[in-house]
Amino acid sequence: MIKIRKAILEDIDGIIKVCSEGHRYTYPELLPQQHIEKMIKEFYNEERIKKEITSITQDWNGWFVAIDNGNIVGAAGGGFIDSGVSELFVIYLDPERKQEGIGSKLLEAVTKDQIERGAKEQWVSVAKDNFMGIPFYEALGFKYQGERPSYELPEEEGYKALRYKRELN
């Protein structure tokens, strides 16, 4: 049975593993390998994840993990980008565990936490042509708002992120 909870320091290696594997699984058709590995190195390293577990603020609300039989099979996190405006910054699953409802449960936990912190709307960015992510977000009520250059990728290379938003109750 899947358990969703706030991450603790013992989860660092599992978060790194699931996010790194998820990133490598999601982007090979969308990004050159060197960009994939650069992002993994920057975002999914022990020092950064440790800080993100222990330093929870309104800008970064912390990591949530999905655990099955003691193993982390998914991780997600978000924060606020403005008063009443939250964002899902990251969500990855073990590539072998897709289509089981784990991603929806993780997003639900992040969203519940953000609503308790005062969120009235929630945003997410998804890589253009990410045909795993786009249907997931649309099925959960996110509506397309436009596109912008992708975060942390060379703008001159033309990488785009699609912006989605949903209203929260």
**SS3 at position 106:** helix
Give yes or no for a contact between 115 and 125, defined as CB atoms under 8 angstroms apart. no
Give the residues across from 92 on adjacent strands: 75
State which residues form the domain around 144: 3-167
Closest C-alpha among 135, 129, 132 to residue 147? 129
- At how many degrees (to 10) do helices 12-26 and 46-54 cross? 120
Give yes or no for a contact between 126 and 115, defined as CB atoms under 8 angstroms apart. no
Question: In terms of DSSP H, where are the helices of 44-91?
Answer: 46-54
pLDDT tens-place values along the chain, 169 residues long = 999 999 999 999 999 999 999 999 988 887 888 889 998 999 999 999 999 999 999 999 999 999 999 999 999 999 999 999 999 999 999 999 989 999 999 999 999 999 999 999 999 999 888 888 999 999 999 999 999 877 666 656 667 889 999 999 7
Task: Give residue 32's pLDDT.
Answer: 83
Q: What CATH number does residue 79 fall under? A: 3.40.630.30
Task: Give residue 169's pLDDT.
Answer: 75
From the CB of residue 62, how many other CB atoms can be counted at a distance below 10 Å? 17
Task: Give residue 152's pLDDT.
Answer: 66
- What's the number of domains the chain is made of? 1
Task: Give residue 151's pLDDT.
Answer: 65
Instruction: Give the amino acid at 17.
Output: K
Its pTM stands at: 0.92
Task: Give residue 161's pLDDT.
Answer: 87
Write b or e for each residue in 150-168: b if 16 or more Cβ atoms lie within 10 A of its Cβ, otherwise e.
beebeeeeebbbbbbbbeb
Task: Give residue 127's pLDDT.
Answer: 87
Task: Give residue 156's pLDDT.
Answer: 65
Instruction: Give the amino acid at 13.
Output: D
